[in-house]
Amino acid sequence: MAGEDKLEPYRQHYAALKRTWQPATAIYQARVAAHMRPDVRVLDLGCGRGGIVERLGRHGRWIGVDADLCSLVEHRLPWLPRGLAHAEALPFADDTFDIVATSWVLEHLRQPAVAFHEIARVLRPGGAFLCLTPNAAHPIPRLNIACRRLRRIQAAAVWLLYGRYPRDTFPVVYRANTPEAITRLAAAAGLYLREIILVEDPAYLMLCRLPLWLAALLEHLIPATWKIHLVGHFVKRARRSRGADI
């Protein structure tokens, strides 16, 4: 979800109202930061034009990949090693990275099972996969699915909600975007669940010109399993030694 800056004023209003609340981006960043060391090897999968690497890139050895060439060319960190690649075919050897971090990418994957196996392959045993993605159970992604065939309406909605230009809008399929789906895909690839956090965010409703109190109330009434953002933390299973008991 590019164009997040347009939502920031609304999030600040909500944070002032609910002191214990943190946006999903802050939770995701904190989970990635907890793994940082000078020698840690990090793959920023779907690095876009910037993002978390702009805040944590000096604390590890980062490499970025993205399927969009324009985003790579216009990346805001010229020093970042980066290349053109799809999540389903990562150009790295097995066991290369300590961390694979990805935000606003899983919703675009047409072959998520293949992508998850690639993520597991390039992670070293014991390495962490951390992700931030929309929860497809929330009404807004459901609406996005319902109207995606109406491209003009969708383009207008994306501009209204996110302030995002058409060139930064990519098709979404939401095939890995519920806690159950992402856990199942991860487990099949050899990644076990450490943590999933679902995070509300009424900023999206406030952009529809709803007052803060009403947006907050509607978000509060949404079932806990429908909260709009999902932060996931998975770990690659360590290999058993030949002499280990089965």
List the one residue out of 142, 144, 139 whose CA is nearest residue 162: 144
Q: Which domains does the chain have, with CATH numbers?
A: 4-236 (3.40.50.150)
Which pLDDT score, from 0 to 100, does residue 198 have?
A: 97
**Paired strand residues for 235:** 128, 192
What residues are paired with 230 via a beta bridge? 133, 198
Q: Is 194 exposed, middle or buried (0-12, 13-18, 19+ CB in 10 A)?
A: middle
For the stretch 35-88, pLDDT in tens is: 999 999 999 999 999 999 999 999 999 999 999 999 999 999 999 999 999 999
Q: Low-confidence residues of the chain, pLDDT below 70?
A: 1-6, 147-169, 204-210, 240-246
pLDDT at 3: 47
pTM of the model: 0.86
Per-residue pLDDT, 245:
43
> Which among 82, 104, 87 has a CA at the least distance from the CA of 25?
104
101: burial class by Cβ within 10 Å (0-12, 13-18, 19+)? buried
